[in-house]
Structure 1
Amino acid sequence: MNYLSQLTRSFTNRKVKIKLLGIYLAVTVIPILLIGFYLNYSMRNVVLNNTINEVDANVDKLEMRLNTILDRAINISDQIYISDDLKKVLEQEYDNNLQIYNAYASYPIFNNYLRYYNEIENIRFYMTKEMITNSQFVYADQETRNQAWYQKAIERQGRISWEYMQDKWTKESYLTLTRSVYGNNRELLGVLAIAISPDNLTSISKSELFDVFVSLDSEKIVHSKDPRYLGEHPSFIKKADIQDQESIIYDTEFKQENYKIYLRSFKPSKTLANQIQITALIPIEDVIKDSRKVLYNGFLIVTICLIVSITLIGLFIKSFDKRIYQLRDAMNNIAKGNFDIKDRKLGGDEIGQAYEDLVVTADSIKELINEVYIHKINEEQWKRRQKESEFKMLASQINPHFLYNTLEMIRMKALINQDQEVARSVMLLSQMMRSSLEVSEQPILLESELKLIKTYLEIQKMRFGDKVNFSVAVECDIQDYYIFPLLLQPIVENAIIHGIDREMETSMIEINVYRTADNLVIEVKDNGVGIAPERLMLLKNALDASEDTAQQSSGIGMNNVNKRIKLYYGEAYGVDIASEYGIGTVVTLFLPSEKGPDSDAEIIDH
């Protein structure tokens, strides 16, 4: 209940236009989008399931045809395995090669099989007995005996094994049945190899719509429409340990596209160790392309309808919100005492009627105020203006011209008395006072600000004598460069007050102006006592602190300069301070850089 109350209160506190838009989204846009996503997902699944069912039926046919081909090779191997004529040819001793050729000719069964069964590509018998080799009878030399398929056939002692191996004569690779053959006394006569015709495998899968791969033991692809994949590892097979007659479906990525994989695994008859996998790769995007087009068209229609409806509700909300704000502003003006409300036509509904009533109310209040308070207000205003006039008359008695004239009179008397130092001091003070009194919030030339700083330093030099020296170095063109007034004066004043070491014979104040790639930099250096690390940390923190915090810390003038720079130029600019205790302090101002040719450094030393 508390959660429901908080939700209700939060909704109540929202603006009316937010409420209207939220309700529209909740009851119209969101349900339509959810229904669209549901239909898209459901249709996608229906299309994919139909395709998978079709593929399942095709794979059933493909498995049946493939088993027919493999069974043909298995039956041939059985007949050869039990053939007494073959054993007689291999066990008999021969005196010359002619007798061997005659023996081969008396056993034409290999040629008969190749002639009548197009499922078979070739038949090779690798003999252990060293005899003359022809196209079917091949002597198993040491190289052949070292091959894995030959050794595996011997280890299985007459049981059928399937290999994807290269033919000795054609150098082509075939799906091959291998089987060791023994004599009547169980002596090894050789290994039989029956290769399956690739053309026959192609004929059983050429009508398939999708890519179909036949692999052996999930290790090598033995048939594919694309010959580039023959002999390759079937990377799209994720479960190599599936059981006989098991079919699985899963998603994977192949050739940088998303596929749904239909995998069927089975064992050929009379085979113990090998499994054949038939894999159909279903490209998801191609399958759902047509249905997606229909859905896209549907989404387009829905989107157009939503755009029209959102536009209409937006126009209504905008008009409603505008009239509400006009009514609210009128009420706010009345609350603040401003009863001059424009007579607007906000329509004939409740909002327009409320505004008309508010105008009548404001007029009534104005009449009442005029009757009771106008005379008293006018009297108080007259008295205040009288006081202001008296104050201005008093202030005008002492004005800047009077001050300048007085200082000029003092300077002239000093010149008459031949006191040059006093005369110069008065002149500098007059210049500085004139510049200070003319300061406004408008930017001034940087040259003018530097001139004021030089005047200030001249006065300080006259005050401290040779104990204080200064230099101003301008290392770039600052013509027509404007800054806010009194940015440098507080920094230089701090250097005089806090930077000068009273025990040093000569204190130096250096002002350097130069440009970097991004900034105009103004440095104020002194060789005074420096700042202790703890104090320096406080000053740096104050530069980054809020207004209230900064006012509570020291360095108010520097904080003020930093704040003015950031407010006018941006957060990328400001003031930085660096100091080493006992060595000196450097305060740096970073201002925006202005493009312009560099000029020779102008150095003023005193």
Structure 2
Amino acid sequence: MWKKISTTFMDHLKVKHKLLGIYLIVTAIPILMVGAYLNYGTREIVLKNSISEAESNVDKLELRLQTIFNRVTSIADMLYINQNMKELLENEYASTLDVYNAYNRYPVFDDFLKYYDEVDTIQFFMTKDMITDSNFIYADSMIKQEAWYQEAVSKRGKLTWVYMTEHWTGNQRLALTRAVYGQSNDLLGVLAIYVSPDMLKSVVEAELHQVFITLDHEIIVFDSKRQHIGEKPSFLVEQPTNLENYVIDREFNSEQVKVNVHHFRPDKSLESTFQVSTLIPIEEVMEEPNQIFSRGFLVIVGALSISIVLIGVFIRSFHKRIQKLRRTMYQVAKGNFQMKQEVGGNDEISEVYRDLATTSQSVQRIIDEVYIHKIKEETWKRKQKEMDFKMLASQINPHFLYNTLEMIRMKAVLNKDPEVAKIVKMLSKMMRSALERTDRPVPITEEIEVITHYLEIQKLRFGDKFTYQMEIEEDAKAYHIFPLLIQPIVENAIIHGLEQKEEAGFIHIKMIEEDKSILIEVKDNGIGIPRDTLKEIQKNMVNNNYHSEGSRIGLHNVHQRLRLYYGEKYGLQMDSIEGLGTTMMIKIPKITSNHL
């Protein structure tokens, strides 16, 4: 019989039915039984642990509250014997100014308010009619009729804890009161030290359950939920015979709760007592175990259903991914290395697909490199031929040009024309410098020399209608700059800014050193540029696809060279006002000979 059942189960049923049956027998039923046992036991344990935890927490709360109240008591003692305060209150003052100065000389409460977080504020209700401020208050007839005032006076210096109204804000606060007497045993007033609600909040804010602090079983002075402050604590045992701690069952806010109560009496408090109570709502505590009990069975039933769905999803996903991998391998085998399909996941199938994709990319990269290499090789050969031609021309043209200019200069000297000789000499130096330069940084001093020759030629050309000024910091001369960056800007200023100006023209070149950069400013007083034209020029300067017209080295080329040589954060900035002139600003990094 067993063999027949085994054979039927293993040989004739489908795989999904076999997996489902094994899952139910081996996993589902044991989980149901164990889950029921654990959930029932958990419900009992949670209630006991909640009561035990509440007991431990209330012990801690009691100790912390004792510390707070004892510090307030210590402050009351120190103020009670404070001679400065008594001297302040007993002295006679001729004017209001004398009273004000006396307050400033004896800041009695400032240190306590500054260094003791347990205190919210301190107020002294004086019997003497003096100036009232935030701390010293004249006890008029209305204040003297207050119950807390009369109780403090009747106890003649004994400490009393009360729940009273703060004089200035009108808020209800827990306070320690004490009558203070002078040297001749006359009443100076009543001291009231208000306990900080924030400090009480900090003591109970980490508690899971609602915590109450009550005074003399009569009034709730603090509620962690701020709902019942100032009310009578109905959840306490009325007039207990002793101060022992206890746990009782009560109904509070229409729900059953367990109340854990601790009594304590602050130091030097003869009559006042405090109660710290934690309310443990039974339904709330048992809500989570009950939910866990219900959800546990739902999860198990859901897991059984989901497992069946997941098996079907797994089989379908596995088949689909295998088919994608097979089709991709077929495309690669046919020579198509552009793999469009993707196989997600991080299992063995996805790893095989990624390895196949890496192989295809490597093959495609090798093909591309061979193709690009051939293109570059052809381009290099063509450029090589052009360079050979230019080198041949460069061997002839410079010598011919230099010799011709030198001949003209000597003719001018022989003909006693020094001005022409000077122009030809500067032009010769400019041409020699331009033709002999490579596309590598040169000392700034060399670039300044070329610009000076150019400006001197222009000055001879325009005569009195053109002047210039160069302001170069000495420290900036120690650096290098790529050639032909400043001269095109100067030339642009003369051609487009000064040639069309009827009045005298002026160019100011300024070079200053900053933290990590050098700023070069070329400023002219030419005709300026209209706003629309200026915007178009600025737009073309940053357009990588824009090309200067003709053979002129335009502002676009200078800006692109700056960004190519130095990086994206460097370049050329342009500003102009029509009729007043144009300012060009070049920003370059500091480059020394050590960085070339």
The answer to whether the superposition gives a TM-score over 0.5 is no
Shorter-normalised TM range: 0.3 to 0.5
TM-score by length of 2: 0.42
